[in-house]
Amino acid sequence: MAQVFDRSSNALARASLVLTGLIVIALGVALNSLQRSPWVTRQGQRPDQPVPFSHKHHVEGLGLQCQYCHTSVEKSSYAGIPPTKTCMNCHSQIWTNAQLLEPVRQSWATGESIQWIKVHDLPDYVYFNHEIHVNKGIGCSSCHGRVDEMPLMYQENTLQMEWCLNCHRNPGVNLRPTSQIYNMAWTGPSTDKPVWCTATVNTDGTSVPTAQGVNCVMKDPNAAGGNNVAQNEMPAVGASHAPGMTTAPMPVAVLPVNYVKFTGQNDLGKYLTAQYHIRTANELSSCEVCHR
């Protein structure tokens, strides 16, 4: 075949190919970082709410529990936003003339609910469920941050797929005793602040496959007069039905409780992963878990 292009145009072609390649890569990088930017993920934004409700005042200041307002978080996929009635429990008496609370009084008078703007909002094609997360030892703060310190609510994490998967591939680092779910300041055990855990054991030697069967305490249960043991102890399941002991009714025997001491999140995470029967990383990152 005849040579149509000379050597120099060949070099030119190569250079422009390289240039096009670079532009495509640069565009890709730009799009990718745009996709991850707070502008797209809405991370950190504080939308203009009809009422500037402060979690800091109501949670940290007044000591209200999350469940007081988000009543369904442990038993349904939705945490739920409280009805105006919940606000009026107090605000029919407190700050009754405050201009800030006018929309609350308006809503109470008309029966029309307050139009809160959603801060967290997954696409509809993603399945998410609060119940399973909190009952398997993931605390509110692991996903929502220090809500107790937020004067106005914002989204702490991206809520992108990568964020979900990051935890699903290694949930152990985020697992905590279920008693600590609402503890906004939980940071995991340390040498200074160890945690002791025990799991209810069946007569066949297997542990009860629910997170509720695990009991953790923050004070040394073996210390002299360790009265927090009795207080937190699970009923001794099956104590009087041990194999080979089917004769006369026995005095209610208390099983010796073996607490394991943890001084780091790694060990606690491994223990809780086993006790809570957390699925494997592979199972938890398969597409149909979140896309059904």
Measured distance CA(5)–CA(10) in Å, rounded: 7
CB atoms within 10 A of CB 134: 22
Q: Which is nearer to ligand HEC, 71 or 232 (CB)?
A: 71
Q: Least distance from C-beta 252 to ligand HEC, angstroms?
A: 33
Q: Least distance from C-beta 140 to ligand HEC, angstroms?
A: 3
Q: Which is nearer to ligand HEC, 79 or 268 (CB)?
A: 79
Q: Least distance from C-beta 13 to ligand HEC, angstroms?
A: 35
Q: Which is nearer to ligand HEC, 79 or 229 (CB)?
A: 79
Q: Is 181 within 8 Å of 193 (Cβ atoms)?
A: no
Q: Is 176 within 8 Å of 278 (Cβ atoms)?
A: no
Q: Least distance from C-beta 198 to ligand HEC, angstroms?
A: 21
| Closest of 48, 45, 70 to residue 59, by C-alpha | 70
Residue type, 202: N
> 138 CB contacts (<8 Å, ≥6 apart)?
167, 171, 174, 175, 176, 181
Q: Which is nearer to ligand HEC, 245 or 274 (CB)?
A: 274
Tokens matching residue 259:
């607490």
Q: Is 134 within 8 Å of 176 (Cβ atoms)?
A: no
Q: Which is nearer to ligand HEC, 21 or 80 (CB)?
A: 80
Q: Least distance from C-beta 110 to ligand HEC, angstroms?
A: 16
